[in-house]
Structure 1
């Protein structure tokens, strides 16, 4: 085995063995890395749990609009106490209360979204048994009763919730898809970091092999006096430096691979070999189309709408709190008897109507001040959202411009890389016949290395710009389809 092969094998040994076990090599494409990240990464799991929180909050809001059936009661309530009692002559005495009570009732409650009130249909039965000497039972029935609670001038919470909660849930769904697309961007970054590290390692290994070969040739040339001692020492130094760069490149590649494995949730025994992806089909994006898709799908637009609605709600609440008028009405029937069989006979009407009023006569402008604060906060939010919208539009414009220009940048980088590699190969051949010096050779090598790295970086930017636009618009411009998900299925798994 040649010296070159022994050196390279020694440098690669840490890659093939980890704790004495052989690694399993997996050729990974960019598409596969994205798919694995969306399924297995921690960031994807966090996004899913945030979606579940928003889903159940929205389900709770929906449930508030439906009738609610409740049962309440005490089974039993035992009472054995002394109570103060005023007699007919004005004096006081204490009497013993010794009783056992059992109560139970069923109610159907319904919020009224139109008015913000609440209506309840109730039915109940109470038993009170007097214990001790002469014990007896007393029943009271309430077979049917209707209760209405209605704020007259206060804020209608139900109405505002019906405006805000659907927008909040739509925002959460869009945010979930954006988080998944954010996972995609992280996967792309990790993939290209490893790909660049892998290419740097290949470059370093090739440079080492070339440096050793050139040094061996230089030794022979020195013996016949074709090169100087200084040039020989420079080639020897280049070979030593190339060994160090291989070791450094190997360490960087191992670190990048560990990071990508960790992000994708792969085992430590998996050796990832990223495959260089092709560029996307050549096409240009239109700024106005991208902006329209972003306004339609992105959580940003829904976030602005929600914040504006919440600001309006805060103002309405502050105005409603300046005075309070509430209506409480209860209508029904009730009956009492010492026998259960007769408690539902001879029912009597039962009615309660109350109108509660709370109007401050002098509060030194406190409630008015709260209204002004809420209105000022609303103006602040409107100003902020206008500025945020301008920044949002500007970011989209720059992304579209960068993407449209990136195809040209990638093409230039690819051509430059091909030329630089061809030049380096020619430089080696020319150096071997003594037509160029070591400085020209080193310059050709440096240009070749930088050109290869530049091509990988430009390819990364091309994919990164595209997926950034996709994550903002939640729209796939290749398939011409909106990014969506089966949210009901996702949150229930």
Structure 2
């Protein structure tokens, strides 16, 4: 009897040493290497694209310079009536190369456009041996809608908020990815814990089976007790084998999510119970600052811009164009830049809608209703967000109370399991009762671990609202 106990103790010590000899990692190892994940790389590239797109708006306000050139050649055969009434076919060959430089500048505060153009043209008639040069020294013009829709007024505001919104979404996606990795880690660690508990209780049942066999040999136990203990041991072995498959699947899922190669024999450390507090008012304030208000402010600006555009498109509009130019032409290029010809122009255009059968008014009414409806949606969304925060807080306190309750239950269950073992050896408890107590003990430990892990995942959800990454 004493010899068998020594063997069991030796096995437990060896198993413990094997555990510590295994490669051990914690959840921070995976979260700190989040950059290996393909989802993280995709998110980073998407954010890079959005930053470039936001920068395009600023570049659209800079001058645009375009160089154009063409060398058109034309050959034509036309019929020409001669003085004597006969028709003669004459071939004509023309060459008209040109080169031009155009510069445009958008004026964001007025919505107008300044244009500056320069060009040189050459015309050659090969049949008549005639050449001509012409030059547009400078042609400066300004075009302005006096009371029209100005894109810049709205796009600047929207673009500024969009940049902040894109940054917030990037960090929120990083936190969501951390949540996915943490969830995969927790699933793998929970199945690992279950295997450990099953193995631990198998060793206890093996010990009990040896004790009952000894009692059976001396007539102090019946054969049924031995058979029930053997059946319990076989059941635990079956659960352990099934859980090993589940653990392998959860490890594979963790590898795929984190994109990190890990050994199947790796030992995952438990997360443990974390401590944090939730302030409802502060959480609502941060939630409104981080994404909620920005997203709806963008929608409000878009609605106002749409209303402004529809109003101005359906009303009388005034457009102003003015400019000046210096031009010259000559048969020889050496004489092209002598005295230029001057031109100036001023154009005032008016567009007055007379009859559109009320279409403009209907479009304006639609825009008004959409803007009003947007306000209702904002309030509705805000209430939904606040309700979600309240549910998170309630869930937090539920988890905390359940964890404390389960801790006490586990302490009592461990004591009860030891008592059942002693009572079973004394014949005061049956093998079936001892088996049920073992399963109850395992289930309580697993459930407590799940609650602690859920508390950790809840913290990541709170971090997403707080934008803590």
Alignment correspondent of 1:116 = 111
Distance 2:400 2:207 in 1: 38
Alignment correspondent of 2:138 = 144
Q: 1:121 to 1:206 in 2, by over 3 A?
A: same
Task: State the secondary structure of the residue aligned to 2:127.
Answer: coil
- 1:165 pairs with 2:165: no
TM-align CA RMSD: 3.0
How many angstroms does 1:81 deviate by? 3.3
Alignment correspondent of 1:302 = 294
How many angstroms does 1:46 deviate by? 2.3
Alignment correspondent of 1:19 = none
Task: State the secondary structure of the residue aligned to 1:227.
Answer: coil
Task: State the secondary structure of the residue aligned to 1:344.
Answer: coil
Measured against aligned partners, the alpha-carbon deviations of 1:253-278 in whole angstroms (never above 9, x if no partner) come to 00000000111112265644211124
Structure 2: 5+ residue runs without aligned partners?
A: none
Q: 1:86 to 1:440 in 2, by over 3 A?
A: farther
Distance 1:65 1:86 in 2: 57
Q: 1:272 to 1:374 in 2, by over 3 A?
A: farther
1:34 is aligned, of 31, 34, 39, to 31
Task: State the secondary structure of the residue aligned to 1:148.
Answer: strand
Q: Is the 8 A contact 1:322 1:367 kept in 2?
A: yes
Measured against aligned partners, the alpha-carbon deviations of 1:356-411 in whole angstroms (never above 9, x if no partner) come to 44433222122222222222222222221211111112212332343355444433
Alignment correspondent of 2:207 = 213
How many angstroms does 1:320 deviate by? 2.0
Distance 1:80 1:415 in 2: 101
Q: Is the 8 A contact 2:228 2:432 kept in 1?
A: no
- 1:192 pairs with 2:201: no
Q: Is the 8 A contact 2:92 2:127 kept in 1?
A: no
Alignment correspondent of 2:329 = 336
Q: 1:356 to 1:202 in 2, by over 3 A?
A: same
- 1:49 pairs with 2:45: yes
Q: Is the 8 A contact 1:71 1:104 kept in 2?
A: yes
Q: 1:85 to 1:150 in 2, by over 3 A?
A: farther
Stretch of structure 1 that moved more, 174-183 or 138-147: 138-147
Alignment correspondent of 2:456 = 463
Give the greater-gyration-radius structure (CA).
2
- The count of residues paired between Structure 1 and Structure 2 equals 452
Q: TM-score, normalised by structure 2?
A: 0.88
Distance 2:90 2:390 in 1: 85
- 1:445 pairs with 2:438: yes
2:257 is aligned, of 251, 255, 263, to 263
Distance 1:243 1:85 in 2: 109
Distance 1:425 1:86 in 2: 126
Q: Is the 8 A contact 2:272 2:453 kept in 1?
A: no
Q: TM-score, normalised by structure 1?
A: 0.84
Measured against aligned partners, the alpha-carbon deviations of 1:278-301 in whole angstroms (never above 9, x if no partner) come to 433x442221112222222x2222
Q: How does 1:93-492 map to 2 (within 5 A)?
A: 98-130=93-125, 132-267=126-261, 269=263, 271-280=265-274, 282-296=275-289, 298-323=290-315, 324-403=317-396, 406-475=399-468, 483=469
How many angstroms does 1:215 deviate by? 2.8
Q: Is the 8 A contact 2:271 2:453 kept in 1?
A: no
Q: Is the 8 A contact 1:25 1:270 kept in 2?
A: no
Q: Is the 8 A contact 1:124 1:142 kept in 2?
A: yes
Distance 1:439 1:42 in 2: 50
Distance 1:170 1:93 in 2: 75
Q: 1:210 to 1:143 in 2, by over 3 A?
A: same
How many angstroms does 1:424 deviate by? 2.0
